[in-house]
Amino acid sequence: MLVGVGGLLGARGGQLVLESRRALRRGLYVAASSLLAAASEAAWFSLGRAVAQPGQKLAKLVQDGEQAAEVIRLTGDRLLELHAPRVRVTEVVSQGHQFRDIRNYALHPAGEHDAEREAWLTEAGATVLAIAARRYFVKMAALMDIVTDNPVS
C-alpha cells in the first residue's frame, strides 16, 4: 500500500494508511474511512510543501497545517501553473475534496444523517475507499515527481 508513496505521505500519513487497513480488517469502518481521509490531507500538505513558488497564502497554510480544502485548491491551481497534466490534477483535486468531505462527515456528526455520505462508512464503502486510495496516492506521488523535477515555472 505504501510502496512508492512514502515521500508523499510522510511518516504520519503512512501510519494513518496502515492503521486504516487494520481498522478495516476489524470492521471499524468509520475509523478506516476517516484515517484514509486524514492520510489524504497529509498527502496534500506534502504536495503543497513541495511545489515551487507556492505563493504566500499556500505557504502559510501549509506551514500552519490549516484549511485543508484551501490547501487542496491552491495546490491544484499551482500544479496547473507548473503544467502538470490537467486531467490528473482535476481528478486528484476532486478525490481530495471527497476524502475531506467523508472525514468531516464522519468526525463532525453535527448535521442530518446523509445516506450518500454514510455509504462511505460501511463495509462496502470503506473497502472501495481503501482500494481506490492506493491509485489516488500513486497519482499524487507522480504529481509530486513532476513538481520536484520542475522547480521553477
Write out pLDDT tens, residues 8-20: 999 999 999 999 9
Write out pLDDT tens, residues 34-83: 999 999 999 999 999 998 888 899 999 999 998 999 999 999 999 999 88
The tally of CA atoms less than 13 A away on the side-chain side of residue 133 is 32
Q: Identify whether the C-beta of residue 117 lies closer than 8 Å to the C-beta of residue 132.
A: no
Q: Identify whether the C-beta of residue 72 lies closer than 8 Å to the C-beta of residue 45.
A: no
51's enclosing H/E stretch is none
Alpha-carbon gap, residue 25 to 5, rounded angstroms: 22
Alpha-carbon gap, residue 66 to 71, rounded angstroms: 8
> Domain locations in the chain?
6-149
Alpha-carbon gap, residue 31 to 20, rounded angstroms: 7
Write out pLDDT tens, residues 75-112: 999 999 988 999 999 999 999 999 999 999 998 877 67
For cell 486524514, the residue is 38
Pick the CATH number of 6-149 from 1.10.1060, 1.20.120, 1.10.357, 3.40.50: 1.20.120
Give the pTM. 0.90
